[in-house]
């Protein structure tokens, strides 16, 4: 199966540019208020916090890019490997965005799936606010008529940096 190159990034360059502009503004303000030690030190401290956040997101941007570790592409490869695509059949990739419809997508997909069909779902399944407790989610999916259910914590994949294994990026990512 031919896979297109994934060029988008979850951490946009715009966010990085805005952080840089914020840092520069804080630095200039701390210089402008150099006579008032409390304000200058507060602004300088805040600029250091912004630099730390910038460094983290720049790191994430690199790891998520095709020139970095290409984590989204490698997750797609993992998903394709799990369903053993042979060039026959159909594959539907649905991006649920914020995840607000994810439970409905699972139910509807399982409702229309042909007998012996394969359904693979990857999302931040371990985030309780979205899906509840893991054991309840597994039980609910099995109650929808699933004969065989495999659960894999993809957030622990070797290609995902430990620094990205948090709820901002890949902390709860699981393959079902």
Whether 143 and 117 map to the same domain: the answer is: yes
- Buried b / exposed e across 17-44, counting CB within 10 Å, b at 16+? eebeebbeebbebbeebeeeeeebeebb
Q: What is the structure's pLDDT at 118? A: 74
Q: What is the structure's pLDDT at 99? A: 58
Q: What is the structure's pLDDT at 95? A: 62
Number of domains in the chain: 2
Question: What is the token pair recorded at 79?
Answer: 């998903």
Q: What is the structure's pLDDT at 147? A: 77
92 lies in which domain range? 71-175
Whether 81 and 45 map to the same domain: the answer is: no
Average pLDDT per block of 10 residues along the chain, 176 residues long: 58 93 94 92 94 95 85 78 69 60 71 73 73 79 79 84 86 78
The answer to whether 116 touches 135, Cβ cutoff 8 Å, is no
Q: What is the structure's pLDDT at 1? A: 45
Q: Count Cα neighbours of 23 within 13 Å in the Cβ-side half-sphere.
A: 14
pTM for the whole structure: 0.71
């Amino acid at each position: 199966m031919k896979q297109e190159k994934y060029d988008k990034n979850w951490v946009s360059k715009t966010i990085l540019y805005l952080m840089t502009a914020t840092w520069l503004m804080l630095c200039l303000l701390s210089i402008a208020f150099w006579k008032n030690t409390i304000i200058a030190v507060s602004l300088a401290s805040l600029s250091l916090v912004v630099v730390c956040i910038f460094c983290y997101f720049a790191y994430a941007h690199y790891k998520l890019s095709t020139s970095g570790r290409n984590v989204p592409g490698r997750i797609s490869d993992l998903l394709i490997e799990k369903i053993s695509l042979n060039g026959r059949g159909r594959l539907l990739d649905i991006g649920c965005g914020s995840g607000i419809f994810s439970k409905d997508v699972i139910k509807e997909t399982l409702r229309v799936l042909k007998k012996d069909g394969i359904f693979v779902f990857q999302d931040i399944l371990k985030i309780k606010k979205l899906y509840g407790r893991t054991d309840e989610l597994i039980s609910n999916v099995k109650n929808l008529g699933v004969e065989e259910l495999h659960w894999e914590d993809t957030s622990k994949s070797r290609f995902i940096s430990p620094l990205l294994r948090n709820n901002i990026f890949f902390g709860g990512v699981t393959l079902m």
